[in-house]
Amino acid sequence: MKMGMGYTVISRLRTLARYTIAYACITHCTFEYVGDFVLCKGPSMEPTLFSDNVLLTERLSKYWRKYQSGDIIIAVSPINASQFICKRIVAVSGEKITTLKPHPLEAESASKQPSEMTMVTDYVPHGCVWIEGDNKGNSSDSRYYGPIPLGLIRSRVVCRIWPLSELTGL
């Protein structure tokens, strides 16, 4: 009798392990290839997005539509590959960009003096986008590091889902 009970427990554990692995694979593929949830941190997108907002993002539309000016995206930071950034696309490949461009961050930290702003006009190169935070005074973006390659873009923000009182499409 005890032998039969041990076999039943092992059989159930094997079934549980099989379902766990299957669901883990489905979850991984969904978050990696379809979309996921992102927790915002930092003031660079205020007043559109605030710290601790939770966003729903998608990764599928890049296959049937191009990124457009106005899209809010999640991308790998071009200055710190272990960090993700949330910014708005201001211009896409071939578009003209005119912006106040501060000195690079390295020069600013080396001189310890306030940076001077200069007006710069340029075109966004093929395969790149120009991104900026909505909070221009407190955002490290393309004005500092230039246009970013499309390959750094992880996903496009669809809507804010938290807090529920601010549920809205973006």
Domain boundaries, the chain: 35-164
Please state the rounded mean pLDDT for residues 15-38.
Answer: 93
Please state the rounded mean pLDDT for residues 148-165.
Answer: 91
Distance CA 88, CA 80 (A): 18
The catalytic position among 11, 87, 96, 142 is 87
Distance CA 127, CA 149 (A): 6
What is the pLDDT at residue 89? 95
Please state the rounded mean pLDDT for residues 117-140.
Answer: 87
What is the pLDDT at residue 1? 47
> How confident is residue 117, by pLDDT bands cut at 50, 70 and 90?
low
Distance CA 118, CA 100 (A): 5
Distance CA 54, CA 90 (A): 22
Listed range (54-68, 104-118, 133-147) with the worst mean pLDDT: 104-118
Distance CA 132, CA 38 (A): 18
What is the pLDDT at residue 4? 66
- Cβ atoms of 37 and 57 closer than 8 Å: yes
Please state the rounded mean pLDDT for residues 68-89.
Answer: 93
Beta bridge partners of 99: 120
Distance CA 110, CA 82 (A): 24
Report whether pLDDT(111) > 70.
no
Q: What is the DSSP string of 32-56?
A: IIIEEEEE--SSTTTTTS-TT-EEE
Structure tokens at 135: 């909070």
Report whether pLDDT(101) > 70.
no
The reply to whether 136 belongs to the active site is: no
Architecture of domain 35-164: Ribbon (2.10)
- Cβ atoms of 67 and 124 closer than 8 Å: no
| Percentage of the chain exceeding pLDDT 90 | 47
Distance CA 84, CA 36 (A): 13
The reply to whether 140 belongs to the active site is: no
The catalytic position among 2, 41, 44, 66 is 44
Q: What is the mean pLDDT of the chain?
A: 85
> How confident is residue 8, by pLDDT bands cut at 50, 70 and 90?
confident
Q: Tell me the CA distances in angstroms from 155 to 72, 76, 151, one per residue in order.
A: 9, 10, 11
